[in-house]
Amino acid sequence: MYLKNNIRRLLVYRQCLLKLKELGFEVIYSYNLGREASVSPEQVRKDFSKFGIKGKRKAGYEIDHLLEALDIIFKKDKDQNVILVGMGNIGKALSNYKGFAQHKIVICAAFDIDPSKQTKSYKIPVYPVEDISRIVKMYHVKIAIIAVPKPAAQEVCNRLIASGIQGIINFSPTNLKHPKNIFINNIDLANEMESLIYFTLNQ
Amino acid sequence: MYLKNNIRRLLVYRQCLLKLKELGFEVIYSYNLGREASVSPEQVRKDFSKFGIKGKRKAGYEIDHLLEALDIIFKKDKDQNVILVGMGNIGKALSNYKGFAQHKIVICAAFDIDPSKQTKSYKIPVYPVEDISRIVKMYHVKIAIIAVPKPAAQEVCNRLIASGIQGIINFSPTNLKHPKNIFINNIDLANEMESLIYFTLNQ
DNA sequence: TACATTTTGTTACTATTTTCACAATAAATT
DNA sequence: AATTTATTGTGAAAATAGTAACAAAATGTA
Ligand SMILES: NC(=O)c1ccc[n+]([C@@H]2O[C@H](COP(=O)([O-])OP(=O)(O)OC[C@H]3O[C@@H](n4cnc5c(N)ncnc54)[C@H](O)[C@@H]3O)[C@@H](O)[C@H]2O)c1
Ligand SMILES: NC(=O)c1ccc[n+]([C@@H]2O[C@H](COP(=O)([O-])OP(=O)(O)OC[C@H]3O[C@@H](n4cnc5c(N)ncnc54)[C@H](O)[C@@H]3O)[C@@H](O)[C@H]2O)c1
């Protein structure tokens, strides 16, 4: 079953629901949430329906109930440890970001090849790359972020996979070779800009 | 016509082609490129076909010809000026990045509400937000990047649109309200991590 | 030149996603 | 209690995307 867009939308709904809750709402209708998330009301209902999340006819959905259901889907009962490789521009930005905490995402360690980055002056400890395997095992880490220059990315990827990492966010603008049981989410910021430019300029 | 995935794949092909060219290839077959881009050969051919890009039966595609065709599709004949609002963690990372140049993307100015950021010590000039409209008009800027905290994002978005911006990359984790002729590409890094975690943990 | 081989380009097919339509039902109103 | 109204949940229809199959074309070979 192909659920990619579905999952992405659920995550958007989650953020909208937190916002709406903060604004004092306790119950929402599919069209409220749809308006907030830029999605059609039918799509909202179908997305919830696919995961067996129920509302009440005429009375909409209880926000707290939705958030609980989403927490179960996304396993938000405990923190998810993540490691970061490459303490450069992007790596530093990510390691400084406080917003991951409320998603229960914790960057528990970072790694860099440059000894001058391996200090305790960052918010998270920065180790040499040789320590990846040890730390991954120690903290049962499944997810890693690659934020190294393009020429180093494949080598880092291989090392991560050999250490037991199962999912990778890759910021380097290159398509990494990997076994098909490993998930890779490429975030290519230049391509994101280009595609925005394309759609903007072609009306 | 819904071309979103198509366009994204073309951008991936572009990066693969540049790499393959660097490795000395002059001609590639759909399966070479497909392997490099993690896409089926049929999909590669279909994508090109949709944009009228032709190869030669039995002789594949000339890399230079493909790159030229892609340059036309993505209007790479001249630099594309882009502005950046918010000179914090993400803003600084983006403004330091040298890789945009080879995509002909130029961050020509940045803006921040904090006077201490409005210095000439960054690689690009940082102005107060009141100057957005003036600079946008002066440089004919169509595209902006929002890298401000969530609570400021909508207000910044409104100002950008009022100044004539037509496309926005939004790093703040919120769904911006906007007229439908404006394109918004939301890059929500926490959600990207969450969706990777979802797919990784659900096998 | 005829024949075999390879690879594109496209059409037909399949799968998935989104939209539409409306019955079911809960709440509100008379 | 009956009626009206609003909203969900879902099955059917439409749109989109991706896969497979294969004829057409280019190249190589006997
Ligand atoms: N900065 C941006 O805004 C931006 C935008 C788009 C894409 N990217 C991509 O993101 C990646 C990181 O970009 P950046 O600007 O942070 O780069 P950067 O050069 O600032 O940082 C890279 C870091 O990786 C470390 N490193 C190099 N080789 C390593 C290895 N083998 N193992 C471990 N660490 C290693 C370096 O010491 C450095 O600290 C790059 O691939 C870049 O193309 C960055
Ligand atoms: N840093 C990350 O890794 C990361 C990860 C995910 C999401 N984000 C999101 O990206 C956005 C930026 O994150 P950051 O870490 O760079 O934040 P930051 O706090 O480091 O920087 C924000 C910058 O915006 C400026 N600013 C505030 N209000 C403004 C206004 N009204 N007009 C112009 N400038 C204004 C501030 O002065 C500051 O320089 C946030 O919305 C954040 O949620 C960041």
Q: What is the fold, at CATH topology level, of the domain defined by A80-192?
A: Rossmann fold (3.40.50)
How far apart (Å, rounded) are the C-alpha atoms in residues B12 and A97?
28
A42-CA/C20-C1' distance, Å: 9
Out of B11, B167, B198, the one facing A74 most closely (by C-beta) is B198
Task: Decide the pairing of beta strands A80-85 and A61-62.
Answer: unpaired
Nearest-CA distance A78 → chain B (Å) = 13
Report the predicted TM-score, pTM, of the whole model to 2 decimal places. Answer: 0.96
**Predicted local confidence at residue B2, as pLDDT:** 58
Residues of chain A with pLDDT under 70: 1-3
Residue B191 sits at the vertex; the CA angle it makes with A137 and A51, to the nearest 5 degrees, is 95
Selecting from 1.10.10.10, 3.30.300.90, 3.40.50.300, 3.60.21.10, what CATH number does the domain A2-73 have? 1.10.10.10
Q: Look at the alpha carbons of B166, B187, A6, B47 in this order and tell me if their dihedral is positive or negative.
A: positive
Residues in A closer than 8 angstroms to B174, CB to CB, are: 15, 19
Interface of A with B in 34-93 (CB under 8 A): 36-38, 73-75, 80, 82, 89-90, 92-93
Task: Decide the pairing of beta strands A105-111 and A126-127.
Answer: parallel
Task: Decide the pairing of beta strands B80-85 and A27-28.
Answer: unpaired
**Predicted local confidence at residue B3, as pLDDT:** 66
Q: Are A15 and B80 in contact (CB < 8 Å)?
A: no
Alpha carbons within 13 angstroms on the beta-carbon side of residue B22 total: 7
- Contacts of A81 by beta carbon, 8 Å cutoff, 6+ apart: A106, A108, A139, A140, A141, A142, A143
* Tens digits of residue pLDDT in A37-49: 999 999 999 999 9
**Domain boundaries of chain A, sorted by first residue:** 2-73, 80-192
Is residue B9 a contact partner of residue B42, using CB atoms and an 8 Å limit? Answer: no
A181-CA/C14-C1' distance, Å: 25
**DSSP helix/strand/coil, B111:** strand
B17, amino acid identity: L
**DSSP helix/strand/coil, A89:** helix
Each residue's pLDDT, cut to its tens digit, for chain B (203 residues) gives 456 899 999 999 999 999 999 999 999 999 999 999 999 999 999 999 999 999 999 999 999 999 999 999 999 999 999 999 999 999 999 999 999 999 999 999 999 999 999 987 788 999 999 999 999 999 999 999 999 999 999 999 999 999 999 999 999 999 999 998 999 999 999 999 999 999 999 87
> How would you classify residue B38: left for phi > 0, otherwise alpha for psi between -120 and 50, otherwise beta?
left
How far apart (Å, rounded) are the C-alpha atoms in residues B90 and B94?
6
User: Do the domains A2-73 and A80-192 sit in the same CATH topology, yes or no?
Assistant: no
Token pair in block for residue B143 = 């595209």
**Predicted local confidence at residue B121, as pLDDT:** 76
How far apart (Å, rounded) are the C-alpha atoms in residues B90 and B154?
18
